[in-house]
Amino acid sequence: MVVYGKDKVLSLLEQVLSASTADQCEAYLSGLSWGLTRFANNYIHQNVHEDNALLTVRTVFGKKIGKAKTNQLDEDSIKEVVERAESITRAQQETEDFVSLPSPTPIQEVTTYYPQTADLTPQDRALTVKSAIDQCEEKNMQRVSGTYYTGVEEMGVMNSLGIEAYFQGTLSSFKINTLLEEGTGMGQHSARNHEDLDIEKITDRACEKALLSRNTENIPAGTYPVILEEAASCEMMGYLAAMAFSAQTYQEGRSAFSGNLEKKLAHESVTIWDDGLEGKGFPMPFDVEGVGKEKLTIMEEGVAKGVAYDSYHAHREGKKSTGHAIDAPGSIAAVPLNLFVKKGDMSLEEMISSCERAVLVTRFHYTNPMHPLKTIITGMTRDGTFWIENGEITRGLKNFRFTQSILETLQGVEALSDRWGIQRMEYLKASICAPAIQVKNFTFTGTTLF
């Protein structure tokens, strides 16, 4: 395992600033050392390990901004990437409303590193996976597959205005898929501390899903009352965050929040916030610009309250960054990376027993945005879709294709469960914590053969 540590990372970033001749310079290093155990057809078929660190250099000449990257961290490569960033910057057109890179802000302490997780070996993961497979075979599952990964991430940021920040955190995630006749099931959980993964419970849930759906039936496409379990809820909220909660899309009129702050857009039971210091998610104390994180209220009792800012889009409105800059190409410069949706007071079982008729959805698959301004997404159900009648799950259903506005869904919320599911998106270093959601209407546009 290759983890540079605070002193080495900050020393590398200092080399960048010393080599730069730009008016302003920012250096950001993101490192990951992780191992992945993959299994399919009831046996482990792959174990891989990766150590990598990516250095991003952003330079400013006047109002010209440019960026370059490298994963070669020797002295010559650092000088080369700085020169490349400055050459790219000089070739840019001026960004008229650019003000400055951010200045230092307070950064709070948060627990993100667990030695017992960092020290897990491939053998440790293999023994855990074997136990899960044995557990599935005892329940007569025909096929079992999934992944188990653990590792350490680190991040450092330094700029010429005085920002200096370093963070190190552990990662763990377990996902299992089960198959029995026509039925499939899935269970997953992610956490900074692998001891928070209740793998036996996750596996039981996946087996139960497959067992309940082993003989599936068709019902017509249409609009039905629906319960979205935590995995489906988390994915839906992730798409809502990407489409509506960024200052860039808000300023450009591409967000459902554009022109609608302080307006009610969802049911009063819906409260959404972002908090990079909350230990129940995947805490991270600062963003890729080195700006310290604080709690950001996005929606309160159904009313749109705020969006996530990086320094550039904050300066455009005379505001301060909220600490949500991301380092990803595309049309979003800032997004909530530690999203939470307020829980309710009912268990999932109580939500099911309260339904006269409804469809229960375990998770979504192959989801894509269709109309970001209207928050419309499309996709399919997967790994356990069920019919509820008179408060009981009566049969498994073949999967649906759906096309649905997320905000319209949230306007019809009838109940929220009393526990969070968590979804981690590694490529963005983002997490979403959301409960199961019971809604009045959800539109299924087609059915499948499986």
* Statement: the pTM of the whole predicted model exceeds 0.85: yes
The CATH number assigned to the domain with range 6-209 reads 3.30.2290.10
What is the pLDDT at residue 449?
Answer: 85
CA distance 166 to 277: 15
pLDDT at residue number 149: 97
User: Residue 171 is encoded by which pair of tokens?
Assistant: 């990662």
> Which of the residues in the chain have pLDDT under 70?
1, 328-331
pLDDT at 329: 62
Residues of the chain with CATH 3.30.2290.10: 6-209
CA pair distance 382, 376, nearest whole angstrom:
19
